Amino acid sequence: MAPLTLEKNDDKISDKKSLMKFETIKVKLMFRRINMAIFTGAGVAIITPFHEDGSINYDQLKKLVDYHCENGTDSIVICGTTGESATMTEEEHLECIKRTIDFTAGRIPVIAGTGSNCTATAVELSREAVRAGADGLLVVTPYYNKATQKGLIEHYKAIAREADAPIIMYSVASRTGCNIEPSTVAALVKEVDNIVGVKEASGNISQVAKIMQLTQGDIDLYSGNDDQIVPILALGGKGVISVLSNIAPKETHEICAKFFAGDVAGSRELQLKAIPLINALFSEVNPIPVKKAVSLMGMEAGGLRMPLTEMEEANAKKLAQAMREFGIQLA
């Protein structure tokens, strides 16, 4: 890897508080040099609760953050796909990140989703999230306009230059139409110090294996699919960024914890037990089912922002049944 280069810029660091954040970031990146991941285990791709008028319900968001901190979740991932970031304004996006960092209060790491199909926007969101104190960044590939592999390299390098925090790339071609090829992942992780990992949601285990082979395992690999946690861990993964954790945080954590403790059979058993529930959680476009599931547990999730619509009644009944069979108590 290239040498770590962080410099104090008077335009960026103008007060004591900012200087302290700068020093914290330096420590985090130094940890990366000795192979410490942002987190291991199950990070929740947390939902964003809304009021009836569609505004963000920050009081309920705090309750959800507390719920996860108290029930085994290993990291909060805010403003991702499950958090409906695509329908947030930039102001809402950043406020949501800042509030989540404050609500978490250092109990577990907070990873901010800061991706965009516009590189300049992704740079700005990432820079501001770092200033707010995010422990890391989750950066999805550009979507709709997409990019070549060369474009992806330049996109991620531009963000990494401006955002002095560990970056996890997010590859989910089923949504973005843009796959990060294994050779591109390997090049970025090797060449850029603060690009440390990838959330792999391609569903292609052969591609994941190729990433681990090309990087010689020197990457923080996270499953982006709840039905592939154990296979990803078996290839050297650090954990999962999970939709399932929204409603089963202890169990999702345990899938990872048992594997890391050497209880592969126990980990596999939990993974397989969760498959029917995971399938129900993806019976419609995410996060439609998981927000319904959170509501069924008696926690306020609020509605969805258009163009997402409420879950079909037949699918909602199947989801409720899958939750009961998994052992989740409904309200």
Q: Which residues are catalytic?
A: 170, 199
Residue 36 to residue 32: CA distance in whole angstroms: 5
Query: What is the Cα 326 distance to its own chain's centre?
Result: 24
What are the structure tokens assigned to 8, written together? Answer: 């104090």
What are the structure tokens assigned to 92, written together? Answer: 């809402």
Q: 306-323: string of b/e by CB count within 10 Å (b at 16+)?
A: eebeebeeeebebbbebb
Residue spans of beta strands (DSSP E) within 83-175? 110-113, 136-140, 167-171
Question: Are 110 and 78 within 8 A, CB to CB?
Answer: yes
Backbone phi, psi, residue 37, to 5° = -75, 160
CA distances from 1 to 84, 162, 219, 251 (A): 35, 18, 12, 36
What are the structure tokens assigned to 185, written together? Answer: 């992942």
Partners of 44 in the β-ladder: 76, 242
Q: Is 37 exposed, middle or buried (CB count within 10 Å of its CB: 0-12, 13-18, 19+)?
A: buried
Question: Are 41 and 290 within 8 A, CB to CB?
Answer: no
Residue 234 to residue 287: CA distance in whole angstroms: 27
Residue 168 to residue 221: CA distance in whole angstroms: 9
- With tokens 């996270």, the residue in question is 222
Question: Are 124 and 100 within 8 A, CB to CB?
Answer: no
